[in-house]
A and B are shown apart, each in its own frame.
Chain A
Amino acid sequence: MWQINQTDALAGGLFLLAALAYLFTFITRRKSRTAAPRMPEAALAADTLMHQAAERGTRLNFYLGNGFTGAYPDLAGASGLAMQGLAARRALFYDHAAQSLAGDAGLALISQMVTQGFYEQAIAPELFRPEMAGWSGPSPWAGIAGFLPELRNAKNEAIVLAGHTGPAALLALDLASQERVISISSSSSLSGQAAAFLAADMFSLGEDALQTTLAESAGAKAAVDAQDLLRMLIALGLLAAAVLKLTGVLP
């Protein structure tokens, strides 16, 4: 039988605190109507390159990682879907539509359904091709190995690695640098973020890596504000705990 322990209670409390912070920033942002909040580097770079690709007749090539339903079943693995969806929607009628590959079967299917849905919404289902969103392999190594040949395509404006990408992502980032293709990384794993620091042209770290959409709606802007607020609270809490520990108040 499931028993709630201290960690569950702490996780529940943090979730509640996050929801309250979100509600608070949502209400205050609706009233103040201030400018767009600070956005992560990877999301901004991808947005700029989407426009650049449209002008040059090139495309953005996405690798959505190998998390979500397989060996790493968590929501963070699907964080690249939002960015890929945005790119696919903007490039529907371009010469070269955005392309994506995923190292996770479930993620590949969802990205394919999303892309196909955009073409059907635009009343142009005949323009959709299954290769626009595919599955590159069943394991982290196979997934990245399946993505590597796509980097040699002359029509790539940039590659975007978003989602759960491990150290193997370094192979793709290094090849992109050799092929003189711009690389953007927004990885939700520690090793993926380390690889991005070493070799990606633009990247996001920590919680920014999971903020892959541009804050277009009031709700999305409030989420960024709430995230910043909670980050500050957690930092203050950690500092206070360190001081209490050093002074001997905490055991």
Chain B
Amino acid sequence: MKRWLAPALAGVSAAFVILAVIFQWQLGPYLGVVLRWVIILGAAGLLAAMVLLMLTHLRKIGSSQKGIIYSLVLLGSFGASLAGGLILGVENDQYLRWIGGIIRPLETSLLGLLALVMAGAAFKLFRLRGWSPLSISFAVFALIFLILGLGFLQGIDNPTLAGVIAFLRRLPLVGARGLLIGIGLGLVFLGLRVIFGIERPYGD
């Protein structure tokens, strides 16, 4: 028997079960069961990944590899968060404030950094892509939306201008929808390739 047959059979049967659960209303309650299985499996996977991550960093410390300090910080903060959660409980306000007090400033600073990087990348775009129609239209529309964002044009009482602004504001939505249709189409074919066993990242 070919090696791909078993995963392909499992994929096709799982797809049929899910379709039956969704489209046959008598089987509706089973959808909840399937979703609960997914949540339980996901949580078990998270636990396993966490253990593997800790083991990897313990091995790094054990073999005195470069960057040992980062592994020590990671293990220390993991241990402290775990102990806090076990002692105080994960719903405890003080514990949540403590965790949030560390995570939020870090994520916000990364967001700030991203804003700067984004502005820099916009300037570097022409060096990377050259003066192509795509890069020129990107620059033109970035400028237009920057001006629109200032709000001066909206202050002018002119129905024609208001119509033009409304039209321009709809354009990003149109582009996004086009890309989303494409992503949806790609996703359908990815699903078909997986169900029929054509996409096999696990090997032949």
Binding site for B on A (CB under 8 A): 1-4, 8, 12, 14-15, 18-19, 22, 69-70, 73-76, 79, 81-82, 84-86, 89, 105-106, 108-109, 112-114, 117-118, 121, 130-131, 134-135, 138-139, 141, 145, 149, 167-168, 170-171, 173-174, 177, 188, 190, 193, 197-199, 201, 205-211, 213, 217, 219-220, 223, 226-227, 230-231, 234
B25 touches A1 (CB 8 A): yes
- Enumerate chain B residues within 8 angstroms of A213, measured Cβ to Cβ: 199
Interface string of B35-56 (1 = CB under 8 A from A): 0001001100110111011011
Residues on A with beta carbons closer than 8 Å to the beta carbon of B9: none
In angstroms, Cα B169 to Cα A161, docked, is 31
Tell me the minimal C-beta distance from B43 to chain A in angstroms. Answer: 9
Q: Taking the complex as formed, is B159 at the interface, i.e. its CB lies under 8 A from any CB of chain A?
A: no
Q: State in angstroms the CA–CA spacing of A229 and B190 once bound together.
A: 15
Q: Is B75 positioned at the interface, with any CB of A under 8 Å from its CB?
A: no
Complex Cα distance, B23 from A70, in Å, reads: 26
| Known A1-B25, A2-B28, A219-B193; contact A85-B202, beta-carbon cutoff 8 A | yes
Alpha-carbon distance A12/B20, docked complex (angstroms)? 12
Interface size for B (C-beta < 8 A) is 58
Chain B contacts to A: CB under 8 angstroms: 22-23, 25, 28, 31, 38, 41-42, 45-46, 48-50, 52-53, 55-56, 59, 67, 70, 106-107, 110, 113-114, 117-118, 120-122, 124-125, 128, 138, 176, 178-183, 185-194, 196, 198-203
Query: What A residues does B70 contact at CB under 8 A?
Result: 149
B202: which A residues are within 8 A, CB to CB?
85, 113-114, 117
Knowing A207-B183, A220-B193, the reply to whether A134 touches B120 (Cβ < 8 A) is no
Chain A residues with Cβ below 8 Å from B201 are 81-82, 84-86, 114
- CB B201 to nearest CB in A, in angstroms, measures 4
Bound together, the chains give a CA A230 to CA B30 distance in angstroms of 33
**What are 17 A-B contacts defined by CB distance under 8 Å?**
A2-B28, A15-B188, A18-B185, A74-B187, A76-B183, A105-B45, A114-B202, A130-B59, A141-B106, A174-B120, A190-B183, A197-B138, A198-B125, A205-B182, A210-B183, A219-B196, A223-B193
> Chain A residues near B118 (CB, 8 Å)?
167, 170, 198
B23 CB, nearest partner CB in chain A, Å: 6
Residue of A145, A190, A234 near B176 (CB, 8 A) is A190
